[in-house]
Structure 1
Amino acid sequence: MTESINHSRRSLFNRRKSVVIRPPWVREEVEFTDVCTRCSACITACETKIIFKGDGGFPEISFKDNECTFCAQCATICPEEKLFDLSQTPWQHQAVIQDNCLTFQGIWCQSCKDACEPRAIGFTLSVGQAPMPKIDTSLCTGCGACVAPCPSQAISIKQPE
């Protein structure tokens, strides 16, 4: 009996929110790893090759080389119909600029702004300083186009807390 109580407590505390980014349009109410069969159809279908086999063989997203164009190929090719919902927003993820951004060190850089098609990244001018980046969260799609061009790897895509 004590063993089952300890196991239940561990399970309760181990239910941390995953930082892994799954393909867009995954239903929020679905536990991805319970439904995904790891068939790799979405990995093969991804036109920008940002989906890869992650932990346990489950699809994950990496923006280190490219962005999501929201082509929907991953969602439409998936044999598990209950896993994706194309009528909802692709995902809630957005770009976050970290402290190692070159502008925080006084270096003028706007690589992320140049790569951002929806123009969600702007820079605030300040006398005697490098312009500081600011993300307009109402425009950011979380596509990841700003991640790869960043020379200091200071941008990540995260789900808002």
Structure 2
Amino acid sequence: MRPPWSLDEARFTDLCTRCMDCEQYCPEGIVARGSAGFPEVDFAQGGCTFCGDCVTRCLPGALSVGAMAELPPWDLNLEFTAACLARGGVVCRTCADRCVARAIRFQPHSGGAFLPMLDSGRCTGCGACRAACPVDAVHLYRNPGPDRRGSADQLKRNG
């Protein structure tokens, strides 16, 4: 997963020089060198606060400053895997406790612990729930479908 406000993958890899300024200036420490040396977000390290420091430090423009006001940082979905402790009958609400947007709630489940439910309309995709989960049962993934990021030229034309 690329840092927030990344352009579409082809345009991102064309523009990104792999300087890793985005990593150096990420106060949360969630940007790291990934495959082929390009920056990726590692939510196991923590959540994104959407401060924008990675974007403003990206001089080549692979992370779009123009998109910050127009688009959410990324289009992510979240799912709770079978490893979720609550699904196994163990009381755990760590993910909800870390969710600043209050997108995760626990609903009663007959015969067991309350189960996590996601309000996708509230979820920002910050990843704090993923980082907090003691059993790695929160999975964040890109929303399938057309990439809404576009190129910097497309953003200028549309904006």
Counterpart Cα distance in 2 of 1:40 and 1:81: 13
Bigger share in strand: 2
Contact kept, 8 Å, 2:13 with 2:62, in 1: the verdict is no
1:68 maps to 2:43? no
User: Which residue of structure 1 lines up, in the alignment, with residue 31 of structure 2?
Assistant: 51
Q: Which has the higher helix share?
A: 2
**Number of equivalenced pairs:** 141
Q: Deviations over 1:6-49 (max 9, x none)?
A: xxxxxxxxxxxxxxx10101123753212111011111010101
TM-score under structure 2 length normalisation: 0.83
Structure 2 counterpart of 1:98:
81
Query: Is the contact between residue 20 and residue 39 of structure 2 (CA under 8 Å) also seen in structure 1?
Result: yes
Task: Letter of the 2:116 partner, please give it.
Answer: P
Q: Which runs of 4+ in 1 moved over 6 A?
A: none
Could you say which structure has the greater relative contact order, defined with CA pairs below 8 angstroms and 6 or more residues apart? Answer: 2
- Kept in 1: contact 2:4–2:74 (CA 8 A): yes
- Are the counterparts in 1 of residues 4 and 63 from structure 2 also a CA contact under 8 Å? no
Equivalent-residue separation in structure 1 for 2:97 and 2:110 (angstroms): 22
Q: Which runs of 5+ in 1 are unaligned?
A: 1-20
- Within the candidate set 120, 144, 150, 1:137 is matched to 120
Q: Which residue of 2 aligns with 1:36?
A: 16
Q: What secondary structure, in the 3-state scheme, does the structure 2 residue paired with 1:156 have?
A: strand
Partner of 2:154: none
Q: Which position in structure 2 is the counterpart of 1:119?
A: 102
- Give the AA of the match of 2:13: T
- Normalised to the residue count of structure 1, the TM-score between the two structures is 0.82
The one-letter amino acid of 1:43's match is: E
Partner of 1:148: 131
**Bigger radius of gyration:** 1
Secondary structure in 2 matching 1:64: helix
- 1: CA distance between counterparts of 2:76 and 2:124? 7
The 1-side partners of 2:110 and 2:9 are apart by 48
Structure 2: tracts of 5 or more residues without a match: 145-159
CA distance in 1, matches of 2:62, 2:30: 22
Give the aligned residue type for 2:38: F
Supply the AA of the counterpart residue of 2:138.
I
**Once the 2 structures are TM-superposed, how far is the Cα of residue 62 of structure 1 from its aligned partner?**
0.3
The residue that corresponds to 2:68 in the other structure is 86
